[in-house]
Amino acid sequence: MDPRVRLWWVSLSLVGVVNILVFLRLAVRARPWRTQLTLAGIYTVVCASRSWLPRADVQRFCIVDSWWSTVLVGRSLATVAEICFAAQWALLLRDYARDLGATTAERLSRVIVPIICVAEVFSWYATITTNYIGNAVEESLWAVAVTVLAIGIVLMRGRAALPMRRKLDATIAACAIYVAYMVTADVPMYIARWRTDQAAGRPYFDLANGLVDVASRWVVTTSFEDWGPEMPWMSLYFSLAVWGSLFIAWVSARRSTASAMAN
């Protein structure tokens, strides 16, 4: 194994363990159990498992030689987890919009999960056919969903008290950074890969043969040349994204506690 790949994999795996421990601490302290905590738990555990068994869907790359490293297993778990993560955004936006009487923001909260469900369809299309254009559309839809979230927060901002407004401003900034990354780095990466494949005349799987392939073929590699392009997004995904999920669960728990005390 390339030492750089080993260091990255070990680090990623440790982050997954720490994230689960943080979730367990949050779960013990949060009473009663809330929907947000369940969604965060699913997302945290799935991301940890994906950091322990890294894989690259289209290329069928993996590090651990096991059927559990197949794209069928990994992509199925990822689909559930990503919908849970999107549901966290939607629920948080809905709850605060209701608190502040921001009707339009509440309506926007309803479209976030459907957008991500469509994104998952394109993700599966890319995974099954090995056509990167599906990934480009998928990631574009994620950027759209976060933009919708940011617009909803902007609509709430004017109704919020100053302390909350500062938190909303920080969230808007985080959304802007995410969308900028997707538009300038992530989506262009997949488009570039698609163009390279198109220029080379690369054949794609049809749906039937692709389904067989995702369930039965995995390519074990520990080469930095293979994993290097995947490291940036995986590192951010399995760390920052999970922390965001846990933070949403924590904020929701605090909101519920404050609401209960007020009543």
Extents of the domains making up the chain: 3-262
According to the model, what pLDDT value does residue 261 have? 59
| Dihedral sign for Cα atoms in the order 177, 180, 185, 186 | positive
Amino acid sitting at position 143: A
Q: How many CB atoms lie within 10 A of CB 182?
A: 20
Q: Does position 243 have pLDDT exceeding 90, yes or no?
A: yes
Split at pLDDT 50, 70, 90, the class of 257 is: low
Q: Are 165 and 102 in contact (CB under 8 A)?
A: no
What are the φ and ψ backbone dihedral angles of 203, each rounded to 5 degrees?
Answer: -80, 150
Q: Is the pLDDT of residue 20 over 90?
A: yes
| Cα distance between residue 145 and residue 143, in whole Å | 5
Q: How far apart are CA 77 and CA 71, in angstroms?
A: 10
Distance CA 95, CA 73 (A): 33
Q: Using a cut of 0.85, tell me whether the model's pTM lies above it.
A: yes
The pLDDT score that the predictor gives to residue 74 is: 94
Q: How far is the C-alpha of 197 from the C-alpha of 194, rounded, in Å?
A: 5
Reported as a pLDDT band with limits 50, 70 and 90, residue 231 is: very high
Other beta carbons within 10 Å of 181: 16
Q: How far apart are CA 196 and CA 132, in angstroms?
A: 10
Distance CA 150, CA 174 (A): 9
Average pLDDT over residues 1-12: 96
Measured between alpha carbons, how far is 34 from 32 in angstroms, rounded to an integer?
Answer: 6
Asked whether residue 24 carries a pLDDT value surpassing 70, the answer given is: yes
The CATH code of the domain at 3-262 is 1.20.1070
